[in-house]
Amino acid sequence: MKKIATLSIASLLLSSMTFSTAFAFTDVGESQAAAVNALKDRGVVSGVDSEHFVPKGIVSYAQSVQMIVKGLDLNLDLLRFFKQPLASDTYTNIPNDAWYADAFIIAQYSGLDIPKDVLPHATITREQFGDLLVRALEKKGDFPLVKMFIQIKDEDQVNIDYQGTLQRLLLYKIAALDQDGKFNPKSELTRGEAASWVYNAIRVLEANTQQPATPVEAVSVTVDKINADVNQVTLSRGDKPNAGYGIAISSIRFDQAGKAVISYTLSDPQPDKMYANVITEAKAITYLPANYTAVAELAAVAAPMPAPGTAPATDISKQLTELVELAKQGKVPGVPFAAHTGLIDDVEKEWGKADLQDSEGKGLVYATYNQKNAVIGFNKGSQIFDVRSSQPNLQELTLQQIEQALGKADDMKLNLDDKIYIYQVNEQFQLKFIIPGSTGKVKHISVISPQDAVNLMAE
């Protein structure tokens, strides 16, 4: 239990953003001073000594994870473990007694996909940090975002897996391009830049955080001793006219001051249900260590849980928006080769020979790569004109979800049982969703350059 309290101590660090100058670092420039000082005041960063932060120093992967976890208050408040979680349960190079071990544990249980063999003392690139920071921020909620595409001059250097998150990093105004319109994705991130980005991410978070609703009624807390080590704690709304009134404990947070903060939610009768008119006490019971003082607080209102096997609507919308942005470049997720500009020779050089090749006539050939969930269409001149993907996450999409995010398709065609919904994303490319009538879900997507679907070697 004490370990869990230690892991969630980052929750104590978030207070209103302050700007301390009494102990400001002397080596931090004006453009980064507000960010560094604010994070220092909150315990998120520290200097090499009382006067020096070394803003141009390179930040390590461990320092990055620690800074993001602390700054965005990622914690394990809603989780309980049968055994103490250890960094070595997941990571091969993270010692359990390292100063950054807790941060990696929290990152893992927060759903951040960090490589299991990550080297904690290795440096981190700008694109790696930006991707990690955006994914951590979006674990905290859904944030308003302008739907537009920012042109990055050195986008060809960006890892394809990071393209979506780096676009959002720029749209959230967490980071900005340099004066030449470049992001410099492979460059090592400095300590000053990392602090500025985390500071800006916190500002996005706090500007859009909803405060818990004010309780409309009092909730009593009753403590009954079970034995010398355990107390029973009852939260009660009092007697209600029927069983439709409820109270549920959503989480318990143990702080360093010896308090057990019990977060609860309230529910009222649903208008479409019938309840017997029997006086019922609306209460919830939990058990706490006897050395903790119970305190109750109303939990912040959370978004409804999605149905089993489905992703939240906001995640699906982001996924589809990213599909469109990739399609504008002739690409699909997980495939680094683009229609119109790519050649099948490049594919074979990187992926090897296809598992299967089918000729569609007119000099058009489709190469299937089963392990990549991809099919590459190319013409007689070796130019790629069609890139298809059947990744499992795409095959969960439905027409309703697609139309909610992207609107109605520009055209629809039939091919036996398949309905093909076509979106003209720009003058060059079409994005197609192929949906069989038998399943109602996407079978695969296709990004095609129609003008290239010809035999360039024909006389």
Mark whether 358 and 228 lie in a shared domain.
Answer: no
Domain match, 200 and 237 both: no
What are the two backbone dihedrals, phi and then psi, of residue 387, each rounded to the nearest 5 degrees?
Answer: -125, 125
Is residue 60 in a domain? yes
Quick check: is 247 in a domain?
yes
Give the three-class secondary structure for 450.
helix
What percent of the chain stands above pLDDT 90? 49
pLDDT tens profile 150-209:
899 999 999 999 999 999 999 999 999 999 999 999 999 999 999 999 999 999 998 887
Tell me, yes or no, whether 158 and 276 share the same domain: no
Residues of the domain holding 238: 220-298
Tell me the C-alpha to C-alpha distance, in Å, between residue 148 and each of 145, 151, 175, 312, 447: 9, 10, 16, 22, 20
The number of distinct structural domains making up the chain is 3
Please compute the mean of the pLDDT values over residues 19-30 and round it to a whole number.
Answer: 67
Give the range among 156-165, 275-284, 368-377, 443-452 with minimum mean pLDDT: 275-284
Q: pLDDT tens digits, residue range 360-386?
A: 777 899 999 988 899 999 998 899 999
Q: pLDDT by residue (tens digit) across 98-131?
A: 999 999 999 998 889 899 999 999 999 999 999 9
DSSP, collapsed to helix, strand or coil, labels residue 4 as helix
Tokens of 246: 């409820």
Say if residue 201 is in the same domain as residue 238: no
- Predicted confidence (pLDDT) per residue in 57-71, tens digit: 999 999 999 999 999
Q: Positive or negative CA dihedral for 184, 187, 193, 199?
A: positive
**Domain-embedded: residue 57:** yes
**Average pLDDT value for residue range 283-306:** 75
If asked whether residues 397 and 262 sit together in one domain, one would say no
What letter represents residue 1's amino acid?
A: M
Question: Is position 459 within any domain?
Answer: no
Beta strands 430-436 and 418-424, pairing class: antiparallel
Average pLDDT over residues 239-250: 88
Among candidate residues 207, 241, 257, the one where a domain is terminated? 207
